[in-house]
Structures are given as structure tokens and as C-alpha cells.
Amino acid sequence: MSIFNNKSILVTGGTGSFGSYFAHYILKISNPKRLAIFSRDELKQSELKNKFDPNRSLRWFLGDIRDKDRLKIALQDVDFVIHAAALKQVDTGEYNPMEFIKTNVIGSQNLIESALEAGVEKIVALSTDKASSPINLYGATKLTADKLFIAANNYGKSRECIFSVVRYGNVIGSRGSVIPYFVKLSRDQQPLPVTDLRMTRFWITLEQASKFVEESFEVMRGGELFVPRIPSLKIVDLINVISPNAEIKVIGLRPGEKLHEEMISQDDSWRTSKFPNKYVVAPVFAEWGYDGKVGEQVPEFFTYRSDNNDQWLQEQEIQNVINTNQYL
């Protein structure tokens, strides 16, 4: 039985790649009392609405997480929140830093305060690998948001509202995925741009990300940073599968871009536990009584990076992903 059964759920950023997929996922695996899609783009809401049975338990809220009053209205009688709303383009964030701060930081705090006031039971906020040891504005705002959500566990009345964070890597099938871009260039017989031939990335599907968020709701006690154990991929291996004879153009690292992605830093290793399918990073402090002594303690100076991962996508697995056409 799904934890979402007979629950009132709100998804911020509900028309984004994850939010729209997760809405379908929830309705496939459960029977919620209400599923509210909260986003600021009326066109995307209209397009998404047409993909659902109009008799389902869906509700459509136009609004921006920068608008606290609108959030308060949307959160009335809501049990669970999945916070997926964010500005995410790295280069755009470098040029427009305050806009990212308004949405990713101030908007997140608006959601926290509104949820506490509304009496929401559980919130899972979505993070990114770029929040670990951030080198760009986007990553810095997401790290700040992560800390806001974890610290919010100190403020709930009698622990009525608990907050946790899920952090994962690049999503296969998302609008920002490099795969459809490479496929299009290959079809047009154009050179494929690569920042560095050594580059590696974490990869997760929308289905896997949705399942992991569901599992996190089931086990969360508040204050955890959940990180799935997912495979890495060498970008050159991806290109070799998409187009073995493609011309590769090395363009160098862009501003704010890492050669390898990181989801758990060495400085966080002392509070990180390992499980068969995930890592759990305990909060730095937990005055609400969090007991993080579960799972297997990772080794001292452990880091979880895309280049030192113990799981890698092989060529046939990459081909299987491409053949699904879920992102084309």
C-alpha cells in the first residue's frame, strides 16, 4: 500500500520534468485524496492538464513560490509536499544571481514557513549534485535551501511537520538532459561538443527518481539528506553509443561547470551512512532528537563522486536507455 493513498499532496514546480512525471507516477501507484500541481506557467499547466483524466483528483494552482500568500492558500489541508520548484540553469544563475536567490532560497523559506503554519505533515525537497561543494551560484542556492529545510525541523510544533531532502544527479529524460541534444546533433551530422574527454556524470531516470522520493517519504524521520546509489557514465561512452563515428569537439569547461559531479563531500563523510540502495547524511545538529545511528558508517574521508563510483553504466545499458525514447 502506497504512503500516498488518501493523502492530499502538493507538488511545487509541478509542470517541470520531474513534477509532471511524478504526478503520473503518484496516480499510477496510489489513490490520493487530492494532487495539487503548483507552478507559475499557465501554458505548461494547460498542456499537462490535457494528459490526464479530468475526473481524477488533480487540482491546478497557478502561483510562484516567491508569493507567500499564494502558497498559504495552496497549502490548506495538504498532508505531503514535494518541493521541485527551482531555477536551474547554471549559466543563467551566474548572470542573474539575485533571481536565483529569490526563487531557490527565499522561495524555499516561504514554503517552509507556510507549511508550518498550515500544519503539513511531511515535506521532501529536491536537491542537486551541484549543491555538494558548490562552485556556481545555482549550487550555492540549492545548498542553502537544503540547509533551510533540514533546520526547519527545529521549528515544528511537537514534530507535527517534518522536513527532509533528496539529492540526485542528472536525470535521463529531463528537459535539460544532454542526450536528446547529442541525438539531434548526430542526426544532423554535426560535431558533438564535449567540455572534457574525462568528464563523468551521475545518471538516474525519472522513474527511479520518483520511486526514490516515494521511499524517502516512507522512511523519513526529519532532517535526513537522502542520496540514491546510482550509476555513473563517461560522456565519451555516451557519445560512442549514440554515434560511434561522430566528430567530437572539445570546448573546455564552462563557467561553474565541474569535471566530475559530487553528491557527498569528504567533509560530510563523518555523518553519512550507507544502505544497499542509498546513502543517508544525518543533520549537523538535531535539537529535535534525531538519532542517525543507522546503516553502515562510510569510511573516513569518503566522497561520493561520479568518477569514484562503484556503479557504472555499460554500453548495452546506455543503448537500452536511448532505445526507450522517453526523452525524444
Q: Which residues are catalytic?
A: 130
C-alpha span between 195 and 99 (Å, rounded): 27
Distance (Å, whole) CA 84 – CA 22: 10
Distance of CA 131 to the CA centre of its chain: 11
Cell of 245: 563515428
Q: Which three cell numbers, joined as nine digits, stand for 97?
A: 544571481
Distance CA 284, CA 265 (A): 14
